[in-house]
Structure 1
Amino acid sequence: MKSPIQNEVGAIFVPVKDIEKARDWYCDLLSVPTEEDFPGGHLYVLPMKHARVVLDSKIYSEEAVFKATAFHFNTADIEAAYTYMKEKGIDVVSDIQFGHFFNFKDPDGNLLMIRKC
């Protein structure tokens, strides 16, 4: 039997403590408009081009926060992305590695990555 599971990611859930604060931070980071829609009062789906990133305050706990990078955001210019993050005062936790990526933390402590693609 051929697998009925599609070869694509539908959504990535990110545990966040305060849904409105997280929405504002991520929308600012990605320069996308914010909306007031919070399904169930605890979810916010970021307007992304491919896989959705869903901020979820219902699953938040200090233990649920990503301690290893679960996904990365793409960039065509890694140096400009690094400078942008530093200028915004974001917790950048590594230098640019191998000319291709660096790690940072969101306000809830989730470890994420920016990668040159």
Structure 2
Amino acid sequence: MSSPIQSRVGQVFVPVRDMAAAIRWYAALLGFEPGAASHEGTIYDVPTDGETRLALDANRPSFDASGPPRFFLWTDDMTATVAHLRSLGVPVTSDVEDIGSVVFVQFEDPDGNALMVCQRA
């Protein structure tokens, strides 16, 4: 069976309530220089490596952030990652877990969005 829809993710949107605060938080988390939001201050494209893009989206500020992580970020050093999260005061919501193929930790951004970082095992 074929489809005209490609099985490649183009961009992930993370809902946020306070764009300026979210930009600062993600900049500290990921180590980039904060910039200005576009689309009348409602979209911010987070600098990423690779093809898949990440955007902060303030178009619907009354969202429900509950649920599991919708995506994960990679790391090559889980110990340093957890130390970095703790140094930023980030709420870490799980222990570091090893499921065989990856080791991961879950945490939340200031809007309560569940996020995850994985390291290949």
* Same fold? TM cut 0.5: yes
Q: Which residue of 2 aligns with 1:44?
A: 44
Q: Any residues of structure 2 matched to 1:90-109 within 5 Å, and which?
A: 90-98=90-98, 100-109=103-112
8 Å contact kept, 1:15–1:61: no
CA RMSD of aligned residues (A): 1.6
- The one-letter amino acid of 2:12's match is I
**Contiguous gaps of at least 5 residues in structure 2:** none
Residue 59 of structure 1 deviates from its aligned partner by 2.1
2:116 counterpart residue number: 113
Give matches, 1:64-79, under 5 Å.
65-79=65-79
1:4: how far off? 2.2
Between the aligned partners of 1:35 and 1:57, the Cα distance in structure 2 is: 15
Q: Offset at 1:83?
A: 1.2
Name structure 1 gaps, 5 residues minimum. Answer: none
Question: What amino acid is the match of 2:32?
Answer: V
C-alpha separation between the residues in 2 aligned to 1:37 and 1:71?
22
Alpha carbons of structure 1 residues 66 and 12: separation in structure 2 relative to 1, 3 Å: farther
Deviations 1:64-115 (A, max 9, x none): x242110011001111111111121110111101170010000000011010
Letter in 2 for 1:45: D
Amino acid of the structure 2 residue aligned with 1:97:
E
Does the Cα contact within 8 Å between 2:15 and 2:63 map onto a contact in 1?
A: no
Distance apart, 1:40 and its partner CA: 3.1
Percent identical residues:
35
**TM-score normalised over the length of structure 2:** 0.87
Alignment-derived partner of residue 8 in structure 1: 8
The number of residues matched between the two structures is 116
Distance in 1, matches of 2:18 and 2:56, equals 9
Distance 2:84 2:26 in 1: 14
